[in-house]
Amino acid sequence: MSTAASADTQGSLWEVFVQEEGGAAHVHAGSVHAPDREMALQNARDVYARRGRVASLWVVESTSIAATAPADRAAFFEPAFDKIYRHPQFYKVPRGIRGL
Amino acid sequence: MEIPAEDTADLERHFQSRLDADETIEPRDWMPERYRKQLVRMMSQHAHSEVVGMLPEGNWITRAPSLRRKRGLLAKVQDEAGHGLYLYGAAETLGTSREEMITQLLTGAAKYSSIFNYPTLSWADVGAIGWLVDGAAIVNQTTLAKTSYGPYARAMLRICAEENFHKRQGFEILAALATGAPGQRAMAQDAVDRWWWPTLMMFGPPDEASPNSAELTRWKVKPKSNDELRQRFVDLAVPQAKAMGLAIPDPELAWDEENSHWRFGKIDWEEFWRVVRGNGPMNRERLRARAEAHEGGRWVREAAEAYDAKRRARRQAVA
């Protein structure tokens, strides 16, 4: 970070999640800067909800999000790879049985 | 896929193979330093262009000829601010802070689109910007929506969905003037005469003189070349100008029957470089206005931060 920039403040970084209609999942839309959560919500509205089509907004301070590391992907998700018995196709059903 | 070894050459091969398989690169993925640098350069330049782009049009909000026009223009300029913010947010995922990008803009270290270094002399210019400048931006951004860096591509999708209104409001303004009184017709034609060539320059230098092109194509950052995009724009714009009864200021413009393209005359690249290097008609004025707006907003940012600090302190005192 440059020293000139540290004299300025842009507030902290917030991730914005938008629910387009009631019943749908909140989906990550992008980010905004704001000093507090109320202003983060207002900024998120002005930036990500200018055309309506929004039922609800969440904002989360970016530093509060934990994420998996891409390099660990294989090891981290490995436990699920060999559990084919968690899928319905694993189980045998005689031909002609309906509704299963 | 597993990364085979902590060796840069291996990492780079793996990275290229992901691109070749049309995978999307996300912020936490490994990427070559130069890929990161090029994207920060492109995305921050793009964000700055949206923000500086508010200035030439904002100039006309208070002088719009009707409430309908004023409302539309105000919403368009507000969109540009929003687009700047989508792009700053996307660029920040690469580890460059907002403060740093803004400082680079204000000190002249970062560029923005040269088109905004031309003045808006009449109301018709607002129409010409919407129709031509936003029209050109859409051609460019539609292909960037398929760029390999996920946050950039997603920001582009949002922007493209909103830009169509900008282009249409511009077209409506120009078309209304073009069917108006002789003075209005002349104003519309004059605006097209002044904005046509700078708009063609927006796509950047010709492919043979574009130093970053090969690398950006290999990395699937830029799916189409400058000249391809420029040609696509001309092919779209010429029939639209004809529909309005406005002339394109290019005596060499001709339909190439064999290839189905409009062939156009030589672009004055000396003018392009002159403006890029800071000597266009409005370069100094744009940066001055931007710096003034940034400084003018400082007390708001500081007050918001002080308010947050005060409330935090109160909460702590209660607890």
Mean pLDDT confidence for B87-93: 96
Measured from the Cβ of residue B133, the count of other Cβ atoms closer than 10 Å reads 25
**Nearest CB to A70: which of B28, B103, B311?**
B28
Q: Of how many residues is chain A composed?
A: 100
Q: What are phi and psi of B24, to 5 degrees?
A: -95, 140
CB B99 within 8 A of CB B107: no
pLDDT confidence of B132, banded at 50, 70, 90? Answer: very high
Going by pLDDT thresholds of 50, 70 and 90, the confidence category of residue B220 is very high
Return the structure tokens found at B105. Answer: 């803009």
d(CA B250, CA B276): 23
* A21 to chain B, closest Cα gap in Å: 17
For B189-212, what is each residue's pLDDT tens digit? Answer: 999 999 999 999 999 999 888 877
Taking any CB pair shorter than 8 Å as contact, residues of chain B touching chain A are: 1-3, 26, 28-30, 78-79, 82, 85-86, 89-90, 92, 97-100, 102-103, 107, 151, 154-155, 158, 162, 298, 301-302, 304-305, 307-308, 311
What is the Cα–Cα distance from B44 to B38, expressed in whole angstroms? 10
Length of chain B: 319
Exposed/middle/buried for A33, CB within 10 Å: 0-12, 13-18, 19+? buried
Tens of pLDDT along B13-31?
Answer: 999 999 999 999 999 999 9
- CB contact at 8 A, A49 and A57: yes
Share above pLDDT 90 across residues of chain B, in percent, rounded to a whole number: 89
pLDDT band for position A8 (cuts 50, 70, 90): confident
Q: In sequence order, what are the beta bridge partners of A12? A: A34
Tell me the mean pLDDT in the region B131-145: 95
Mean pLDDT of chain B: 94
Angle at the Cα of B71 from the Cα atoms of B68 and B74, rounded to 5 degrees? 145
Q: Which of A82-91, B204-213, B286-295 has the highest mean pLDDT?
A: B286-295
Which chain A residues contact residue B304 at CB under 8 A? 11, 34-36, 39
**Interchain CB distance below 8 Å, B102 and A30:** no
Per residue in B230-267, pLDDT (tens digit) is 999 999 999 999 999 999 999 999 999 999 999 999 99
Q: Is the pLDDT of residue B62 over 60?
A: yes
CA A50 to chain centre: 20
More confidently predicted of B310 and A81: B310
Q: Looking at the predicted structure, is the pLDDT value of residue B167 above 70? A: yes
Q: pLDDT tier at B6 (50, 70, 90 boundaries)? A: low
Mutation to test the A interface, candidates B71, B79, B88, B308, most A Cβ within 10 Å: B308
Q: What is the pLDDT of residue A2?
A: 38
Residue from A44, A57, A41, A53 nearest B86 by CA: A44
pTM: 0.91
Chain B nearest CA to A41, separation (Å): 14
ipTM: 0.85
Q: State the smallest CA–CA distance between residue A61 and chain B in angstroms.
A: 13
Residues of B in contact with A39 (CB under 8 A): 304
Residues B79-106 have a mean pLDDT of: 95
Neighbours of B70 (CB within 10 A): 15
Cβ neighbors of B16 (< 8 A, separation 6 or more) are B218
Mean pLDDT of B34-42: 95
Q: Cα–Cα distance between B144 and B295 in angstroms, integer? A: 33
Contact assignment for B82 to A36 by CB distance below 8 Å: no
The region of weakest confidence among A93-97, B87-91, B237-241 is A93-97
How far CA B24 is from CA of B16, B30, B35, in Å, comes to: 11, 12, 13
Q: State the residue for tokens 């290999």.
A: B218
pLDDT band for A7, please (50, 70, 90 cuts): low
